[in-house]
Amino acid sequence: MRVAMVCLGNICRSPMAAAVASAMVAECGLAGTVTVESFGTAGYHRGEAADRRADAALRRRGWPAGGHRARQITAHDVMTADLVLCADRANLAAVRRLAPDHGDKVRLLRSFDPQVGVGDDEVPDPWGGDDAAFDEALALIETACRGLIGELAALQS
Ligand code: 4NP
């Protein structure tokens, strides 16, 4: 099972989501069956490391950080993934435009958050914000990833 986390630049939200989900996958003993990658819908930061504020937020919460290289998502990436989880609705629309026949597996990451609210179902972009904005984005990501991994674990058991 391949999970693709997607945001705009692939330097803030989706690298944090992939780091958190990968660590949870390993903790649940699913490392052999679930892989988690991340992508951006835009290519401006291709090849770059994660934003240092994203890595710092991960480390503050005890998650692994470092080693990321930004990638821009392609139609092939969508086709070969089993689940494509987008940080916000703009990313969701961009991914669906890229592979219109594969829309069923393209969802908002926070659709796995049991507390998700109407009109409050995105991970807001922290890029122009401060450290607190990164901490808030990471908290939303952690909750959604716990929901995701719970569902994946139930499927595998
Ligand atoms: P991300 O954040 O989509 O969470 O990686 C952003 C990073 C860079 C830009 C926008 C959002 N940018 O416009 O360069």
What domains appear along the chain, each with residue ranges and CATH number? Answer: 2-156 (3.40.50.2300)
Query: Which residue has a Cα nearest atom 13 of ligand 1?
Result: 9
Query: Which residue has a Cα nearest atom 6 of ligand 1?
Result: 9
* pLDDT reported for residue 107: 98
Share of the chain above pLDDT 90, in %: 96
Share of the chain above pLDDT 70, in %: 100
13: Cβ below 6 Å to ligand 1? yes
Tokens representing 35 are 């892989």
pTM: 0.98
Over 90: is that where the pLDDT of 113 sits?
yes
* pLDDT reported for residue 131: 98
Task: State mean pLDDT over 132-156.
Answer: 96
Q: Give 157's pLDDT tier (boundaries 50, 70, 90).
A: confident
Report yes or no: 129 and 143 within 8 Å, Cβ to Cβ: no
Whole-number CA gyration radius for the chain: 14
13 contact partners, CB below 8 Å, separation of at least 6:
5, 7, 54, 87, 123, 125, 126, 137, 141
